[in-house]
């Protein structure tokens, strides 16, 4: 797969070349862990890629759940996108202020809703700014656009499905958290969660998939990283992390290398680590 592909990943040059395309829609999906001293909305208002709309993934979520930013109901997704002027026939490009961090979560949400013409900006806003590409503080002109959504239920897993997968061993469960958190050697950033990981899961920190400049590693290298982590790419994959954000980076990488049978455990460790009746493993096992 070429490094630029409008269904997965596009370069900063590709985006600049297409900025004036009438059916291009750009989303700033910046989000940071609680306690991080950054305000993504304030940063967006100060400077963003021309035409970009801001999406708050905490708002674009299911508020009926006590878990953080779970995937929203279809109706809420459609409503929020219509408010942003995003609909059928649009090519969507998502970026964030960390390079590649939270943007893949929104890419995954679009895929969950059956929308394929969506890509992550490789290197995100930091790379865009480092290359002195155009930025603005102007709000975009927004016109309503109808959106048709067909939810792809196979792309998301709940706790019952993940628990079954741990017993059957018929999926590769890939944990995108740091090795210290996976092993249980470091406390979780969210209070009240047990340390450790889902039994039978494999650790592949999302940072291993990225270059130092925040871009995604080339496809051939990604494949080798998965294989070195002991992941059988012939099996269907379930990704997980702390709360379902950085897990989507693994989904994006899997899609890039043609391993398309993947889903995301939306509750992730925020859910699994909370319930005492779910088994937890520590160390490398």
122/245 same-domain check: no
pLDDT score recorded for residue 2: 58
One of 10, 174, 238, 241 is an active-site residue; which one? 241
CA distances 252 to 111, 119, 169, 180, 193, Å, are 10, 9, 23, 23, 27
**Of 81, 73, 71, which is closest to residue 27 (Cα–Cα)?**
81
241 is catalytic: yes
Q: How many structural domains are present in the chain?
A: 2
121/218 same-domain check: no
Q: pTM of the prediction?
A: 0.97
- Predicted confidence pLDDT, tens digits, the chain (285 residues): 557 899 999 999 999 999 999 999 999 999 998 788 999 999 999 999 999 999 999 999 999 999 999 999 999 999 999 999 999 999 999 999 999 999 999 999 999 999 999 999 999 999 999 999 999 999 999 998 899 999 999 999 999 999 999 999 999 999 999 999 999 999 888 888 999 999 999 999 999 999 999 999 999 999 999 999 999 999 999 999 999 999 999 999 999 999 999 999 999 999 999 998 999 999 986
pLDDT score recorded for residue 1: 57
Per the CB < 8 A criterion, the answer to whether 2 and 85 are in contact is: no
90/40 same-domain check: yes
158/127 same-domain check: no
Would residue 131 count as lying in a domain?
Answer: yes
Query: Which of 110, 132, 151 is the endpoint of a domain?
Result: 151
184/259 same-domain check: yes
C-alpha dihedral sign at 77, 4, 30, 82: negative
Distance CA 133, CA 138 (A): 15
Per the CB < 8 A criterion, the answer to whether 118 and 24 are in contact is: no
pLDDT score recorded for residue 189: 84
161/136 same-domain check: no
Would residue 284 count as lying in a domain?
Answer: no
Q: Cβ neighbours of residue 10 under 8 Å, at least 6 residues apart?
A: 4, 93, 119, 120, 121, 122
Would residue 68 count as lying in a domain?
Answer: yes
pLDDT score recorded for residue 103: 98
CATH number of domain containing 55: 3.40.250.10
22/145 same-domain check: yes
């Amino acid at each position: 797969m070429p490094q630029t592909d409008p269904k997965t990943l596009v370069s900063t040059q590709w985006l600049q070349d297409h900025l004036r395309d009438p059916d291009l829609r750009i989303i700033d999906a910046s989000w940071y862990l609680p306690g991080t001293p950054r305000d993504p909305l304030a940063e967006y208002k100060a400077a963003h890629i021309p035409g970009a709309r801001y999406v708050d993934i905490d708002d674009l979520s299911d508020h009926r759940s006590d878990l953080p930013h779970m995937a929203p109901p279809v109706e809420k997704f459609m409503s929020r996108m219509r408010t942003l002027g995003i609909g059928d026939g649009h090519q969507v490009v998502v970026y964030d202020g960390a390079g590649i961090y939270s943007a893949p979560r929104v890419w995954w949400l679009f895929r969950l809703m059956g929308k394929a013409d969506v890509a992550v900006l490789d290197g995100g806003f930091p790379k865009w700014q480092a290359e002195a590409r155009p930025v603005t503080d102007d709000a975009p002109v927004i016109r309503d656009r109808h959106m048709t959504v067909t939810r792809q239920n196979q792309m998301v897993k709940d706790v019952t499905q993940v628990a079954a997968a741990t017993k059957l061993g018929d999926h590769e469960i890939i944990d995108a958290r740091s090795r210290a958190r996976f092993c249980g050697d470091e406390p979780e950033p969210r209070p009240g969660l047990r340390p450790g990981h889902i039994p039978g899961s494999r650790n592949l920190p999302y940072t291993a998939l990225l270059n130092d400049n925040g871009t995604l590693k080339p496809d051939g290298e990604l494949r080798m990283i998965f294989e070195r982590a002991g992941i059988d790419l012939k099996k269907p994959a379930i990704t997980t992390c702390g709360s379902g954000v950085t897990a989507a980076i693994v989904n994006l990488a899997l899609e890039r290398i043609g391993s398309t049978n993947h889903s995301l455990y939306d509750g992730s460790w925020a859910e699994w680590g909370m319930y005492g009746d779910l088994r937890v493993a520590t160390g490398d096992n």
